Structure 1
Amino acid sequence: MENRITLMAALAGIVLTASACAPSSTAPTAGATSASASGPTPAATSTSVGWGLNPKGAADRIKAAGLQVLTAEGAAEHFHAHLDVFTEGKPVTVPADIGFSFNTAGQPNGISALHSHDETGVIHIEAPTAGATYTLGQFLTEWGVLDGTDKTPGTPHSGIDGWNVAVNGTKQDGKITDVVLKAHDEIVLFHGAAPNPLPASFTFTGGL
């Protein structure tokens, strides 16, 4: 049975109702990610520094991705994909709460149709209208990474040059940002040599 969780935004007075998923109980802080029992831990991910989610400007990043800041998760379109990120063979933690906006107290007060809830790498698509497509580039924009502000290859804010993507074990041609997210896809984004073994599938649990 789906759980309903309501978040009260202290400043905006917005009620965020989640019909199937809910944001993490602790809002992330700039440059940090929260621990998750089912996801990789910061200790196991030496490349976590700089890849954390910065709540500041989150609403603007959602809009820059061409998406809306909603007051509730949608139910017309609901599916999940999974993202693994590697740089120079080392895994990167995908943060919780990508695709959420936050008030000045750091509490969630809005949500995009494209978002994450934890550090498992599961990407949630929960949209109020059906039929739209969502891309890896939009998710990266919401995350605030690979924005080209750092000229060092393979870093959190490098450009997309040198990055590759595989979907369900098959390397994709074209721009990594153009990859369309589809239900139960295993997406591997990597810089440098491909991880060995290359993840080709992901086991979704809990009815996802």
Structure 2
Amino acid sequence: MENRITLMATLASLVLSASACAPSSTAPTATAPAASAPATTSTAVASSAPVGWGLNPKGAADRIKAAGLQVLNAEGAAEHFHAHLDIFTDSKPVTVPADIGFSFNPAGQPNGISALHSHDETGIIHIEAPTAGATYTLGQFLTEWGVLDGTDKTPGTPHSNIDGWNVAVNGTKRDGKITDVVLKAHDEIVLFHGTAPNPLPASYTFTGGL
């Protein structure tokens, strides 16, 4: 079971203590920007993602806002579910980094979190929102991550545009823009470029009460 993020008051500032999430009616609901650093389950700069796919802590808060989301000071409790993301380039897997959807101070320490985030490198996407009913998309998650942003003209690279990328949800290929895929509870989302993985993952086993 994951431990929830809790907010601790000090004389100097608000300090976040965060690890993986846990469903609880007592979990704090957050709507304000964070003031200082939550500890996470891993360090973004230490990601084992392949070159170019790693998470850059610099500008993370701006990417959260570019995704249309808020930088919160704790995980929300009004909406809580999980999806899973696999990424392949020519059938080779790409690691989804930890700490997507976190903001960081200049020292590289996390100091805020969005409702849409990752805690580790399993590919599990966490949605823990302070209000219920909002729609969250794969495009928002990729924006927070900072990939497929069109800054590299080479197809299939971490910063290529979305042309040529395909997406399947629960084993079924989807038409339309990959960024429009809506995240739903326990979906298995496969994003791939070039040769599709064989077999195409159609489900994911969520453990630990997720």
Aligned to 1:28: 44
Structure 2 unaligned residues grouped into runs of 5+: 24-37
Secondary structure of the residue that 2:63 maps to in structure 1?
helix
Aligned to 2:76: 74
> In the alignment, does 2:183 pair up with 1:181?
yes
CA distance in structure 2 between the partners assigned to 1:80 and 1:96 by the alignment: 15
Aligned to 1:45: none
Matches within 5 A, 1:150-161: 150-161=152-163
Aligned-residue offset at 1:7: 7.6
Matches within 5 A, 1:109-128: 109-128=111-130
CA distance in structure 2 between the partners assigned to 1:27 and 1:104 by the alignment: 14
Matches within 5 A, 1:28-177: 28-29=44-45, 32-34=46-48, 48-177=50-179
CA contact (8 A) 1:53 1:98 kept: yes
Point out the more displaced range, 15-24 or 149-158: 15-24
CA contact (8 A) 2:84 2:189 kept: yes
CA contact (8 A) 1:70 1:112 kept: yes
**Relative to structure 1, is the Cα distance of residues 134 and 103 closer, same or farther in structure 2, using a 3 angstrom cutoff?**
same
What do the CA deviations read for 1:127-168 (whole angstroms, capped 9, x no partner)? 000000000000000000000000000000000000000000
CA contact (8 A) 2:4 2:75 kept: no
Query: Partner amino acid for 1:16?
Result: L
Aligned to 2:201: 199
Q: TM-score, normalised by structure 1?
A: 0.86
CA distance in structure 1 between the partners assigned to 2:110 and 2:2 by the alignment: 20
CA distance in structure 2 between the partners assigned to 1:49 and 1:15 by the alignment: 32
CA distance in structure 2 between the partners assigned to 1:4 and 1:122 by the alignment: 16
Count of residues in correspondence between the two structures: 191
CA contact (8 A) 1:150 1:158 kept: yes
Query: Partner amino acid for 2:167?
Result: V
Query: Partner amino acid for 2:44?
Result: P
CA distance in structure 2 between the partners assigned to 1:90 and 1:2 by the alignment: 30
Aligned to 2:16: 16
Aligned-residue offset at 1:17: 5.0
Aligned-residue offset at 1:88: 1.2
CA distance in structure 2 between the partners assigned to 1:207 and 1:123 by the alignment: 14
Aligned-residue offset at 1:3: 2.9
Secondary structure of the residue that 2:83 maps to in structure 1?
strand
Query: Please, what is the CA RMSD of the aligned residues?
Result: 2.0
Identity of aligned residues (%): 86
CA distance in structure 2 between the partners assigned to 1:5 and 1:102 by the alignment: 16
CA contact (8 A) 2:41 2:120 kept: no
CA distance in structure 1 between the partners assigned to 2:65 and 2:14 by the alignment: 18
CA distance in structure 2 between the partners assigned to 1:132 and 1:152 by the alignment: 34
